[in-house]
Structure 1
């Protein structure tokens, strides 16, 4: 995909995977805006790539609409949205529950993806189509026993993308999920020593998978990324339907 001159919005772009994607797409000629709570980090990366830094909390329902509008006005169009901001669950979630922290995790990992996609779609329509990539995780495809809440949120992202992608593809809007394994980024900094010799992805490995999705990804796909393997769409097994063989109706909601 030729990204030269395209308008790009990246959440969580001040470090790790987000920053690597910002650098790659900027180098390829895209005009990139970064949303992050880390003002210093966002401004540093924006200065590096002559991009636009926007400081805010993506879990706030007002942030994505406001900044999407800013980006569209500044760049004249919005073509690619990388909904990458995320956080770990940090608690078992099966006995004592820190409700405030739980709501924070859901707000960043799930709500921000919904806010981001629903806000981006009208802008992408105005541009004649585009791509939205939401960072999930292998925990969106498989259970991560050490973090059930994180697993819950990433399964939600994968399910949302698969359902939304099928409909939006008809309008030339691709929606895909990115499902990397463990990556050596600030997200796992406190647990880094526990991995020992276990192979970790680099942020640039994952950014390469983003480029691959932009090149030939299809709407509704969830792409796995693992060390030593080429990234690709995960093949979901079909679920048995009714014994009668009847297909479910295509329901329409609202008036």
Structure 2
């Protein structure tokens, strides 16, 4: 039986590549995005279903998962990939409350709504894999966009904290942390600058192949760095142990 795969932010970039990859494997793919034209085109390409989804709205997340289950009978893989950047900074010239709230709404609250909608449905179908797109900014530093970095750290915390509770229900929860990827979010001048520095850009299709491999594995509660030409690299987090008082 073909797997059922839901991908948010799937009208372009990494999300579109993930949809195409799973479509090429014969999966039933549900493409979710606010971009109706782009999302419809990708869904048509993979012979899947497009559901217009504003991930900042809890009702849209619930409707997305309900539509996938109604169309295909259940869920096997959910990739919460939708995200944006440019949250500004904290100086006099770049502080913008509205921009900050928008980045938080999409990158953090949107993931929370997606988790709330998808996890019970995955468990009800006998288990499956849920993947969240974080970023290398979520395990390092991003001076150019600290608000974006905060949200990407946040989703890794969600993944690591939720994974143990859902493991017994057969649901694996992991995060991917892509590096520099050739997507529409990068302006042409940014691509020129990056390549001039001798840095490699990963192609979305390369990231998608890694995503598929991670969802097929048995690990849970992990975050994987994805860079051009490299296999997924699990992030090593410190093991925390409670200190005991003497005596």
Fold match, TM over 0.5? Answer: yes
Question: What secondary structure, in the 3-state scheme, does the structure 2 residue paired with 1:132 have?
Answer: strand
Match of 2:134 among 130, 133, 136: 136
Aligned counterparts of 1:105 and 1:193: Cα–Cα separation in 2:
26
SS in 2 for 1:186: coil
Greater shift in the superposed pair: 90-99 or 42-51:
90-99
- Cα deviations by residue, 1:37-85 (Å, 9 ceiling, x for unpaired): 1111001111111111111311112110011101110111111100000
**Superposed structure 1 runs of 4+ greater than 4 Å apart:** none
Q: CA deviation at 1:192?
A: 2.6
Kept after mapping to 2: 8 A contact 1:176/1:217: no
**Residue by residue, what CA displacement relative to the aligned partner does 1:184-221 show, whole Å, maximum 9, x if unpaired?**
11122363333133211110111111012022251100
* Whole-angstrom CA distance in 1 between matches of 2:89 and 2:79: 29
Cα separation, 2, equivalents of 1:168 and 1:116: 15
CA distance in 1, matches of 2:154, 2:240: 18
The 1:93/1:68 distance shift into structure 2, 3 A limit, reads farther
TM-score by length of 2: 0.93
Aligned residue number for residue 237 of structure 2: 236
Question: Which residue number corresponds to residue 250 of structure 1?
Answer: none
CA distance in structure 1 between the aligned counterparts of 2:3 and 2:204, rounded to whole angstroms: 22
Give the superposed CA RMSD. Answer: 1.6
Tell whether 2:59 aligns with 1:65: no
Aligned residue for 2:71? 74
Residue 122 in structure 1 maps to residue 123 in structure 2: no
Query: Residue 69 of structure 2: SS of its match in structure 1?
Result: helix
**Which runs of 5 or more structure 2 residues have no equivalent in the other structure?**
none
1:10–1:33 contact (8 Å) kept in structure 2: yes
Q: Matched residues in 2 for 1:24 and 1:126: separation?
A: 25
- Equivalence for 1:29: 26
Cα distance in 1 for residues equivalent to 2:152 and 2:117: 20
Consecutive unaligned residues of structure 1, counting only runs of 5 or more, are: 246-255
| Residues paired across the two proteins, number | 242
- Within 5 Å, give how 1:141-152 maps onto structure 2: 141-152=139-150
